[in-house]
Amino acid sequence: MTAVLAIRDLSVAIRTDDGLAEVLDHATLEIARGEIVGVVGESGCGKSTLVRSVLGILPPAARVTEGSIRFDGVELTTLDARAMARDIRGRRIGFIPQDPYQAFNPVFRVGTQLLEVARWHGTGDQAADRARLIELLRQVQIPDPEGALARYPHQFSGGQRLRLRIAAAMLCRPDLIIADEPTTALDVTTQKQIIALLGALARESGTAMLFVTHDFGVVAELCDRVVVMYAGQTVECGASSVILDRPRHPYTRLLLDCHPDRAATLAGIPGSVPSVIAAPSGCRFHPRCPSASPVCSTALPPATVLGPDHEAACVLFGAGESHASA
């Protein structure tokens, strides 16, 4: 398996007035070429920080304290900001931001903003860029692509704006697209259509995708594999079908029980995601975990291989074969 993106033991800390916040704690994730990987977790689990670390757009107060991010053999954590902006962001990694309603500069025409992306990355040939963009707009099913370029963002619906953002992300034919909960702000029917479209486009072009969401329904429809995060730690990862059918980590199980389609009684998880300032020691889920034991607070358990393409980090499986890198 050749990984287009490999994140290993990534820790990110943000300086705040109240102290150091460890937003990511040894997060680990791998995406093979052409694979769609979902990252799932409650709000505040560090999903967006993970995305920003890969893109190299962490806020100024944040630092990568440990670990590595390798993109197609290039180490991104040490790459300088200039090269990151010129060669990686937008060019080799496409980005679809969170809220399509707010994702365009309101004062410029859509065409100007989309073509700008190609221009920064120095493709040079403006006519070709334009033709490529119009072709993409057709693919993302924007009616009247030529006319759409001359319109302003507020003249499009949320779903259409998201389609436009998808086109922007795909413009430079990236190897990887990162989508940060792009459909959360949309209504369910639009969301369904766009998820289907996104999946088809990614498969067709062979682009790998990192899809952040908190919706297991989206994962089931779109993702090959899924990574479950809790408070900055990777707790379980594996093929979507495996995780959805046989979740092993207590957090994944509880999270899945919150999904109305799957659980007879909506359980919910008592408590809430802890503050990452002075986060619980060891496994960060232990204060809310029904199966917690005293050991849980002492150390972060290593990821245990539970089957082909299925790992979980929990002391419950400590007896199993331990992951080499942990």
Partner 1 sequence: MNLIWLKFARDRSALTGLVIVALVALIALLAYQIAPYPEDAFSSDPMRRLRPPGAEHLLGTDSLGRDILSRVVLGTRIALGIALSVVTAAMAIGVPLGLVAGYFGGWRSEAVMRVTDVFLAVPQLILALALAQLLRPSLESAMAALILTYWPFFTRIVYAETQRLRHAMFVEALEGLGARPLRIMFLHILPNIASPIIVRATIGMGYAILTAAVLGFLGMGAPPPQPEWGLMVAESRDYLPDAWWFATFPGLAIFLVVFAFNLLGDGLRDIVDPRLRRSR
79 touches partner 1 (CB under 8 A): no
Residue 288, amino acid: R
Closest by CA position to 49, among listed 3, 98, 87: 98
Task: Provide the phi-psi class of 32: left if phi over 0, else alpha when psi is between -120 and 50, else beta.
Answer: beta
Among 86, 109, 151, 192, binds partner 1 (CB under 8 A): 86
Residue type, position 100, single letter = P
- The structure tokens listed for 105 are 């500069």
Piece of the chain touching partner 1 by CB under 8 A; list 64-72, 88-96, 129-137, 204-212: 88-96
CA distance 56 to 29: 16
Structure tokens at 180: 């940060």
Out of 5, 27, 31, 88, name the contact with partner 1 by CB under 8 A: 88
φ/ψ of residue 303, rounded to 5:
-70, 130
Q: Does 105 bind partner 1 (CB under 8 A)?
A: yes
- Give me 305's structure tokens: 């291989």
Does residue 151 touch partner 1 according to CB under 8 A? no
CB hemisphere CA count around 93 (13 angstroms): 29
Cα–Cα nearest to 42, from 304, 292, 254, 247: 254
If one asks whether residue 43 binds partner 1 (CB under 8 A), the answer comes out as no
Q: Quick one: 151 or 259, whose CB is closer to partner 1?
A: 151
Closest distance of CB 234 from partner 1, Å: 22
Residue 108 in contact with partner 1, rule: CB under 8 A: yes
Binder among 66, 99, 221, 257 for partner 1 (CB under 8 A) = 99
Rounded to an integer, what distance in angstroms lies between the CA atom of residue 322 and that of residue 146? 56
* Closer Cβ to partner 1, 152 or 279, answer by number: 152
User: Which pairing describes strands 225-230 and 233-239: parallel, antiparallel, or unpaired?
Assistant: antiparallel
Residue 46 interacting with partner 1 (CB under 8 A): no
Say whether residue 95 binds partner 1 (CB under 8 A). Answer: yes
Total residues contacting partner 1 by CB under 8 A comes to 31
Q: Applying CB under 8 A, does 120 fall inside the site for partner 1?
A: yes
Site string for partner 1, 161-200 (x = CB under 8 A): ----x--xx--------x----------------------
CB 256 within 8 A of CB 203: no
Give the one residue of 16, 43, 65, 102 binding partner 1; rule: CB under 8 A. Answer: 102
Q: Which residues bind partner 1 (CB under 8 A)?
A: 55, 57, 60-61, 85-86, 88-91, 94-95, 97-99, 101-108, 116-117, 120-121, 165, 168-169, 178
